[in-house]
Amino acid sequence: MGVQLTVGMGEIHVVRGAGNVLTALGLGSCIGVCLYDPLVRVAGMVHVVLPQSQADKIGELPGKFADSAIPATVQRMVEQGASPSRLKAAIAGGAQLFQFGASSTLDVGARNAEAVVAALRQAGIPLLAKDVGGSVGRTLRLISDNGLVVVRTIGGAERELATLGSILASSGVAA
Amino acid sequence: MNTAAAPEKLQQLVQTIRDLPALPEVVVRVMRMTEDPRTDAQSIARVIATDQAMAARVLKLANSAFYGLPRRVSTLSEAVVILGFRTIKNLAIAASTFELLNREIAGYWLQRGELWRHSLACAIGAQLIARRVRLPVVEEAFVAGLLHDIGKVAINLFVREQFDQIMECALKERIAFVEAEQAVLGFNHAMAGGLIAEKWNLPPSLVAVIKYHHQPSSAPEREPMISIVHLADVLSITLGIGIGGDGLYYHFEEDTLAMFGLEQADLDDLCEQIVEQMARAASLQEQPEVVLQ
């Protein structure tokens, strides 16, 4: 009895058991973070919008900011029976306006990617795969059966980014 | 680069635009009335009430969570008094363009509803920017933002046919997607949008925003409104709201920031507010009826 959930901007969704799919649509500069505990099949996704939270603005959507999003998602997953030490991550998004010439002030995509990677490291969660940067829109899916992470470039093909539940998936990529 | 459209292709575009629905007469009248300082709430309400379907839709929007009214308003004159007639004008325009903007725009890989979401985010963003830089054009900014990409509806099929060539051209020549549209098709969505705006008899200032929203510096007169919508468009698309196959191949005129005295922290703040208001605006997206005639 699986569910298919769309993870909107700043939202966190956590599901337990097989047959569920979490999706983040239209990632531009935002980052979709997939977290997975293979043992209890708890899957979480958060749609991060900005790198840093300002204390007064976290409000109802801690998922909006990289620094508050990762701890909040881990917390929700622990409530569903996941163990922080078993979690593995994959991320996608963080696109930027195409650089036609001089560097841009609008570098929120790169800052987001940096902040998410730092927050994962801080939480001690290995980052197994990432598809970040460039100037393309992306759609990200996490399948709860085995932690399969699939990325599609809008207007392009779909490809497998990682399987977070794989036995071999034990170490992180260089961040 | 070939930038002139083949005559038959241009003819097809003109025909496509001719076939698009007209703006309802009521909206055109309301737009004109709000320009007149002598107009009062009652007369606006009376005009909208002559079109019952429109009146019902405006009331429905006025009661949506987006405006967070403390109680339900049941008459138009009440809505006009509480929200102000400029907001009511915006609601009438939103109600009457929803069907067009809510279409699937396959040429840009936008599913049904995506262009509407992008347009709404840009409308909200333009309003926020106008407010932040203290320009007294907040309500006009909403309409300009809402309609800026209307031309995509008209050139959708042309882009769909030649999407790969346009993308290839953008990548190879290192130009924005909109410029590649011009190079491959001989026209682009901003220009097509300007033609639609003229067909709808929209005010020249609004036509200029639609026409030059990708290149405010090319406009004959550098109106702040064009730059406001340019920035709102850039922020919305960067956030991925209605991001299509053209991705972020968008040329941002950075001097927009200096013009308004905005810095990175302001942009982050604006992004955050757009996201917050879009969450509230979800209620505005749930009005499926067709209004255009």
Complete domains list, chain B, with CATH: 7-21+102-285 (1.10.3210.10)
Give me the pLDDT at residue B261, please: 96
pLDDT tens profile B200-248: 989 899 999 999 999 999 999 989 999 999 999 999 999 999 999 999 9
CA distances from B260 to A47, B25, B46, B182, B206 (A): 30, 36, 39, 29, 20
Asked if residue A125 lies in contact with residue A119, where contact means CB atoms within 8 angstroms, the answer is: no
SS3 A145: coil
User: How far is Cα A30 from Cα A52, in angstroms, rounded to an integer?
Assistant: 13
Q: What is the pLDDT of residue B68?
A: 78
Task: Please answer yes or no on whether A137 and B248 come within 8 Å at the CB atom.
Answer: yes
Of the pLDDT bands very low, low, confident and very high (cuts 50, 70, 90), residue B4 is low
| Helix B177-185 / helix B151-173 crossing angle, nearest 10 deg | 100
Compare CB distances from B238 to A9, A100, A108 and report the shortest one's residue: A108
Residues of A noted as catalytic: 30
- Among B55, B58, B77, smallest CA distance to B67 is for B58
- What are the distances in angstroms from CA B261 to CA A87, A102, B188, B266? 44, 19, 30, 9
pLDDT for B195 = 96
- Report the mean per-residue pLDDT for chain A: 91
The answer to whether A19 contacts chain B (CB < 8 Å) is: no
Q: Is A57 on the interface with B (CB under 8 A)?
A: yes
Chain B contacts of A96, Cβ < 8 Å? Answer: 238, 248
Q: Where are the alpha helices (DSSP H) in chain A?
A: 66-79, 108-123
Tell me which architecture the domain covering A4-163 has in CATH: 2-Layer Sandwich (3.30)
Domain segments of chain A as ranges? 4-163
Give the C-alpha separation, A72 to B42, whole Å: 50
Identity of the residue numbered A90: A
**pLDDT level of residue B258 (50, 70, 90 thresholds):** very high
Nearest to B254 among A95, A104, A156 (CB): A104
Residue A69 has pLDDT above 90, yes or no: yes
DSSP element (H, E) containing A125: none
Give the mean model confidence (pLDDT) for residues B72-96: 86
Instruction: Judge residue B74's burial from the number of C-beta atoms within 10 Å of its C-beta, 0-12 exposed, 13-18 middle, 19 or more buried.
Output: exposed
pLDDT attached to residue A58: 59
Residue A171 clears pLDDT 70, i.e. is over it: no
Query: Cβ(A147)–Cβ(A43) under 8 Å?
Result: yes
Considering only the beta carbons, identify the residue of B114, B238, B263 that sits closest to A28. B238
Q: What is the pLDDT of residue A148?
A: 97
Q: What is the pLDDT of residue B36?
A: 84
pLDDT tens-digit readout, A88-126: 999 999 999 998 876 677 889 999 999 999 999 999 999
Residue-wise pLDDT for A134-161, tens only, equals 999 999 999 999 999 999 999 888 999 9
Looking at chain A, the whole-number percentage of residues with pLDDT higher than 90 is 79
Which distant-in-sequence residues (6+ apart) come within 8 Å of B52 by Cβ?
A: none
Is the confidence at residue A173, as pLDDT, over 60?
no
B104 part of contact set with chain A, CB < 8 Å: no
Q: Which residue has the higher pLDDT, B2 or A74?
A: A74
Residue B137 has pLDDT above 90, yes or no: no
pTM: 0.91
Give A83 to chain B, closest Cα distance, Å: 31
pLDDT for A103: 65
Nearest CB to A28 within list B243, B263, B267 = B243
Quote the percentage of chain B above a pLDDT of 70. Answer: 95
With beta carbons less than 8 A apart as the criterion, state whether A162 and A114 touch.
no
Mean predicted confidence (pLDDT) in B278-284? 75
Order of strands, sheet of A4-6, starting from the edge strand that comes earlier in the sequence: A4-6, A21-27, A138-143, A148-153, A158-163
Residues 6+ apart with CB under 8 A from B74: B59
Model pLDDT for residues B38-63, shown as the tens digit of each residue:
888 888 889 998 988 888 888 888 88
- At residue B291 the predicted structure's pLDDT band, cuts being 50, 70 and 90, is very low
CB-based contact, A105 to chain B, within 8 Å: yes
Q: Given CB atoms, is B35 within the 8 Å cutoff of chain A?
A: no
Q: Which residues of B touch A26 (CB under 8 A)?
A: 114, 240-243
Say yes or no for a CB contact (<8 Å) between B234 and A49: no
% of chain A beyond a pLDDT of 70: 89
